Amino acid sequence: MVTENFISYLEVEKRYSQHTLVAYEEDLNQFIGFSEITKDSELKEITHQVIRGWIVQLIESGNTNRTVSRKLSCLRSFFKWLVAEQKIEINPMLRVRAPKVEKRLPNFVKQSEIELADHTELFSSDYDGKRDQLIFELFYQTGIRLSELINLKEKDIQDGRIKVLGKRNKERLIPVSTDLMQLINEYRLIKPNKGDSAEFFLVKFDGRKLSSKFVYRKINNYLGSVSSVQKKSPHVLRHTFATHLLNNGAGLESLKELLGHASLSATQVYTHSSFAQINSIYSQAHPRGRKK
């Protein structure tokens, strides 16, 4: 069906991560099954009532509002693409509202936990250890996404900055600290010269490009050793990067550019975490704010 072409479009032109592609494909197949469509020509018959019926079924099946909203985001992209491709004339999603979702504060690692970590014990002195330490520092010091990290090319890192190709093919430049540049140069000296190493910056010892699962496992193990944070993933380090920058005086507009967000509203979620810290400091330091 045309759904396969849509997924291919997201992968090639929109450069969605593999994780997102799998989720979108599952959501589409689930909706197609609910609407009982068997051929592409029947897509024109889907109305907003059909989609609302699916929403009701999802909620009655125990799905949270957040999960339903994510699935509707997939449909929103799908029907917008169908209109652009002239497969349908009317977009039924224009008359569909997603259920309200309570915003969750991003998980992040405390600055004290990262500063107290003894890297000499956590990372070995061989190639794997040096590379793994660099992976962690790239996440924490640049805030890049997992998909962006594993797709970094050798040519993307030079002159004290990293060129990142993010979502919707949006390119951004991220400055590299002197210490991080030193780690990069040390890694390049021991990097194997085989396999994918000529093109991709981070590779395994046999020269193969890193996979998402490989990096996720490395970061999960590391965070489990240094932090009590509940969720232990590369994205938590992205949240940590953003939160620590704000806590130390960075502006929202600058942070938006560093993170590669399309709008400032996506960046503003981090102000909640920063305000929590400010509120705590106020409660402890101000004579009228001290808790009795």
91-126 CB burial, b ≥16 within 10 A, e <16: bbbeebebeeeeeeebbbbbeeebeebeeeeebeee
In the residue annotation, 66 being an active-site residue is answered as no
User: What's the pLDDT tens digit per position in 125-179?
Assistant: 999 999 999 999 999 999 999 999 999 999 999 888 999 988 777 889 999 999 9
How many residues are there in the chain? 292
* pTM flag (> 0.75): no
User: What's the pLDDT tens digit per position in 240-291?
Assistant: 999 899 888 888 899 899 998 888 877 887 776 665 565 665 566 656 555 5
In the residue annotation, 76 being an active-site residue is answered as no
Top CATH class of 111-283 equals mainly alpha
As a whole number of angstroms, the distance between CA 189 and CA 6 comes to 42
Whether 274 contacts 111, CB under 8 Å: no
In the residue annotation, 235 being an active-site residue is answered as yes
CA atoms within 13 A on the CB side of 268: 4
Spot the catalytic one: 110, 204, 209, 235: 235
Spot the catalytic one: 71, 145, 191, 244: 145
Spot the catalytic one: 131, 238, 239, 244: 238
In the residue annotation, 216 being an active-site residue is answered as no
Spot the catalytic one: 52, 76, 87, 167: 167
In the residue annotation, 239 being an active-site residue is answered as no
Backbone angles phi, psi at 158, to 5 degrees: -165, 160
Domain 2-95 is found in CATH 3.40.50.970: no
Domain spans, the chain:
2-95, 111-283
Whether 165 contacts 149, CB under 8 Å: no
